[in-house]
Structure 1
Amino acid sequence: MNEESGARPAKAKKNSVLQLVKAVAWSFLGVRKRADLESDAAQLHPLALIAAGIIGAILFIVVLLLIVHAVVGK
């Protein structure tokens, strides 16, 4: 039995999280190269992308609400 089959190195996991955040951020801006999109589709898990997108959208809404609250001053 191979011990490495289920284990990922910490650096690879860190890189994939950074890659996930970058993919979602660029997608929010709507600017992606086809090669980057295909690379992300091949390497990242779809459910992780969906979860990161939902979290990113929630954070975006919260930031907008905080800005509006600060401007209105209530």
Structure 2
Amino acid sequence: MASDSAPTQPAAGSDSPANGRASWLRSVKAVAWSLLGLRKGSEYAQDLSRIYPLHVIVVGLVAVFLLVIGLMMLVNTIV
């Protein structure tokens, strides 16, 4: 007996790693919540299974860079 089931594709709005945009967006949200220090344990568990570590590293570096640039601009406008 041969199985006639074809491999299923992830839904357009799903947050699976196969869907690159959703994974990047989920990485941005995870990094943003991490910078604030607020994150649910259940969301953290979902992030571990749905996002790529490389995405988190890249988004984290960009976020820190933007934070430093923003603080430098703020200090320059005040001083």
TM-score using structure 1 length? 0.77
Q: What letter matches 2:42 in structure 1?
A: A
Change (3 A) 1:69 1:40: same
State the alpha-carbon separation in 1 of the partners of residues 12 and 24 from structure 2.
11
Render the CA deviation track for 1:13-71: whole Å, top value 9, x for unaligned: 32222211110000001110001001011110011111111111111000000000111
* 1:47 lines up with 2:49 in the alignment: no
Q: What letter matches 1:48 in structure 2?
A: H
* 1:71 lines up with 2:78 in the alignment: yes
Higher alpha-carbon deviation: 61-70 or 15-24:
15-24
Mind listing any 5+ residue stretches in structure 2 that lack a counterpart? 1-6, 14-18
Mapping 1:4-19, distance limit 5 Å? 12-19=19-26
State the alpha-carbon separation in 2 of the partners of residues 46 and 20 from structure 1.
9
Say what the alpha-carbon RMSD is for the aligned residues. 2.0
Identical pairs, percent = 35
TM-score using structure 2 length? 0.72
SS at match of 2:63: helix
User: Size of the alignment, in residue pairs?
Assistant: 66
Q: Which portions of structure 1, spanning 4 or more consecutive aligned residues, are displaced by more than 3 angstroms?
A: 8-12
Mind listing any 5+ residue stretches in structure 1 that lack a counterpart? none
More relative contact order in 1 or in 2 (CA 8 Å, sep 6+)?
Answer: 1
